[in-house]
Structure 1
Amino acid sequence: MMLELGTNFTYQSKRIIGTKVALRGKKLEHGDGEVVIIGGMVLDIHATPSVRANSGTTVPGKVYYVRGGVARNVAECMSKLGAKPFMISAIGFDMAVGILKDKDIETPVVCNLFDINGEVAAGVASVEALEKYLTPDWILHFRNSLPSAPVLMVDANLSHPALEAACKMAADMECPVWFEPVSVTKARRISFVVEYVTFVSPNEDELIAMANALSGCDEFQPLKESQKKNISVMSLFQLLKPAIWVLLENGIEMVLVTVGSNGVFLCNKGGPRHFKKHTEKINRTGFGGQLYKAFMQKNPPSRSSGISELNKSSHLFAVHFPSLAASVVRLTGAGDCLVGGILTSICAGLDIMQSVSVGIAVAKAAVEAEANVPNTFNLSAIAEDAKSAYSGAKVLFHQSML
């Protein structure tokens, strides 16, 4: 069954799908060097007030139905960047236009209430169908997609058994796992699969939740707004560093922490061994290949060689990438597009530093769009913005933690 991504987006499925991705109506076959994505396809309801919201009453504003779900957003972003991710998910036929009704599955739905600045003020998620129907058996049905994949991405919408099945499958295929925590509540599910996870991409609150889950106690507390007000990037990193170290000590090789307008922290201890191991699994065709060429024309071959030389497990190495100025419309898709941009760049053969720079550029395009994923991406603009993020990256911390 096909999932079309683009202006005309439709679901066509029976109860559960393992779907290939089509771009602009063209059928694309899953081939070598493409990411496998397992997780949520969700109908998002975005409620945006035109004036400041008041508790206990309604206010004027706009309500939109938007295609969502972390895994689905990442897959759509990658598709529009020219990659061909293979996605495994579950949906129903019950709500969105073009989806026929099915009595067994309720399509996962998330309702977000935004403030007048485009930030999420509150939200409610109803995604039980993913845990019920996206089973280990269904996931294992697609194990033949993994041998050629450079990365398997899982989002934390999956149930504990499904997460474990997916990650064990990846381990059997020697495929690194990217864990997307989805929310503060679900971020704690990292404790069930941490031994298999290579990359994680939390925001600061999800990072704290993950560190608490792995340490077995609520040792770390979320940062208060007063702590983050007028704080320097280095001071913010120092506050988050103990939690980051917990993740690294538990075997996660790359911790990518998004910190809003303060940018992104990329942290590791030792070199990115799995990227070196899987660099032969690349696909430089189509837009992804053009992106690779455009980036390499504007930037030196790599600034990450220093990272690969750090093989002592006692070392924490952190790089800070600045955020890019943007005309913000909505922030919900930014993190997913960041991951989509990074994974697409990995598929195209860029290294981790270069890939994060492209991800930041793609995230900028996302916050300037009404939908979770922009209708199109401009190659020239992404390459130029990636150059700015890349040139602005600075080594923030390099020190033994013993």
Structure 2
Amino acid sequence: MESSVPALPSVLLKDGELKDVEAKPVIIGGMVLDIHATPSVPANPRTTTPGKVHYILGGVARNVAECMSKLGAKPYMISVVGLDMAGIQRRQDIETAVVCNIFDVKGELGAAVASVEAIEKFLTPEWIRQFNCNIRAAPVMMVDANLMAAESGIPVWFEPVSVVKSKRVVSVVKHITFASPNEDELIAMANALSCGEVFSPIQKDNKKNKCSTESLFQMLRPAIWVLLEEGIKVVVVTLGSDGVLLCSNGAPGFMKGSSKGSNPHGSGNQLYRLVNSSCPPNRFFSASKFEGGSNLFAAHFPALPASVVRLTGAGDCLVGGALACICAGLNVMQSLAVGIAAAKAAVEVDTNVPTEYSLAKITGMKFICSLQQLV
């Protein structure tokens, strides 16, 4: 027997007409041509080095959307590309954004040059307003920091992209539900919101000395609290090989609910069932602890061991995996655990997003065994 198809949500247009729109997560941001240059021997300055150069589909928003698609979500992507070699949906006066990444022999990013002016010039609020019906019907929206978030009334995930662009949080902070900075982006966001250089980046020698998770959290906590006090509900701090910090202002009960309008079906329903079978929704909440007076909740998710090939797509796949699960009706902690598993798969391939994801393999990983509650 075929299951009944739920009615599409209706959106009221300016002229009073109701329009039925499928509720899809909306991803707004960059579609980029990535040029990955990897030397086969340690590179020397001021001369060429033998190695490999690959052209790869990239862009934070595009990577997130691809990851979500391969995990069963059906994201609606809003972006812009040019009438050139890399262009897909084209305009003659646009040059497709390009980022050239230069890696070392271990796959670590050594340097990068980004030419992404087209995204900021042409992906304007006026252009995005054409898709208001899709945005208003969406269960969740992700915006990368190449853009400004708009008033939408739906949960917004803000991906900072870079230290420089992360400072744009100031103008959009009141719209943000989730933010996913790395350590340096977190410091830049907190300083921008504090209107001064209040916080200093974590010293590189501290990272090399591999300070404990608790110590690292204590160093980052004041900056995290600035973001939470400004109204961001959930701050996900990515720590590379040290995993992820999940922080919220108040009881983690906020994390239990699914996103507005989520109605999983097909692969989304399969993802929901598989995750719930290996990671029940109430697994995390019995051990919740809070700091006196601040209501700060913080938990550490360790990274999964991986055979690293390249690291560029890890953070994007973490966000994509988490968003796919949120749209499937899973809570934020379950979703982040799957995001970490998706990130592991990403670093083990030479593209930004793996060619395919096995839902059974992703959800079968023991990715939540060593969750640590921080005090």
TM-score, normalised by the number of residues in structure 1 = 0.83
Q: Residue 308 and residue 105 in structure 1: after superposition, are their counterparts in 2 closer, same or farther (change >3 A)?
A: farther
Work out the number of aligned pairs and report it. Answer: 355
Residue 150 of structure 2, aligned match among 164, 167, 172 = 167
Once the two structures are TM-superposed, the CA of residue 383 in structure 1 deviates from its matched residue by: 0.9
Q: Matches of 1:325 and 1:314 in 2, distance apart? A: 34
**TM-superposition CA deviations, 1:146-169 (whole Å, max 9, x none):** 2332211100112xxxx1xx432x
Structure 1 residues 313 and 108 mapped into 2: Cα distance closer, same or farther (>3 Å)? farther
1:258 and 2:249 are equivalent in the alignment? no
Q: Residue 207 of structure 1 aligns with which residue? A: 186
Note the C-alpha offset of 1:306.
Answer: 5.4
The answer for unaligned runs of 5 or more in structure 2 is 1-19
8 Å CA contact retained: 1:43, 1:66: yes
What amino acid does structure 1 have at the position aligned with 2:136?
A: P
2:221 maps to 1:241: yes
Q: Is contact 1:46-1:63 (8 Å) kept?
A: yes
1:356 to 336, 359, 369: 336
How many angstroms does 1:204 deviate by? 0.7
Is residue 389 of structure 1 aligned with residue 367 of structure 2?
A: yes
RMSD between superposed Cα atoms in Å: 2.2
1:269 and 1:310 in contact (8 A); partners too: no
Cα separation, 1, equivalents of 2:337 and 2:43: 36
Q: CA deviation at 1:55?
A: 1.3
In structure 2, C-alpha distance between the alignment counterparts of 1:341 and 1:354, rounded to whole Å: 10
Task: Note the alpha carbon deviations across 1:42-76, whole angstroms, 9 max, x for none.
Answer: 00000011111111111111101000000000001
Alignment-mate amino acid for residue 357 of structure 2 = F
After superposition, residues 1-400 of structure 1 pair within 5 angstroms as: 31-32=22-23, 34-96=24-86, 99=88, 102-158=91-147, 163=148, 166-168=149-151, 170=152, 174-228=153-207, 229-271=209-251, 279=259, 281-305=261-285, 314-385=294-365, 388-397=366-375
Tell me: CA distance 1:309–1:279, structure 2 relative to 1, closer, same or farther (3 Å): farther
Distance 1:259 1:323 in 2: 9
Unpaired runs of at least 5, structure 1: 1-28, 398-402
Structure 1 84/313 Cα, relative in aligned 2: closer, same or farther at 3 Å?
farther
The answer (yes or no) to whether the contact 1:254–1:272 under 8 Å persists in 2 is no
Q: CA deviation at 1:295?
A: 1.4
Cα separation, partners in 2 of 1:309 and 1:101, compared to 1, 3 Å: closer
CA shift in 2, pair 1:279/1:307, >3 Å: farther
- CA distance in 1 between partners of 2:318 and 2:90 (Å): 33
Q: Distance between the aligned counterparts of 1:183 and 1:93, measured in 2?
A: 26
Per-residue CA deviation, residues 65-91 of structure 1 (Å, 9 max, x unaligned), is 000000000001111111111111111
Instruction: Find the residue that maps to 1:67 and give its secondary structure.
Output: strand
3-state SS, counterpart of residue 340 of structure 2: helix
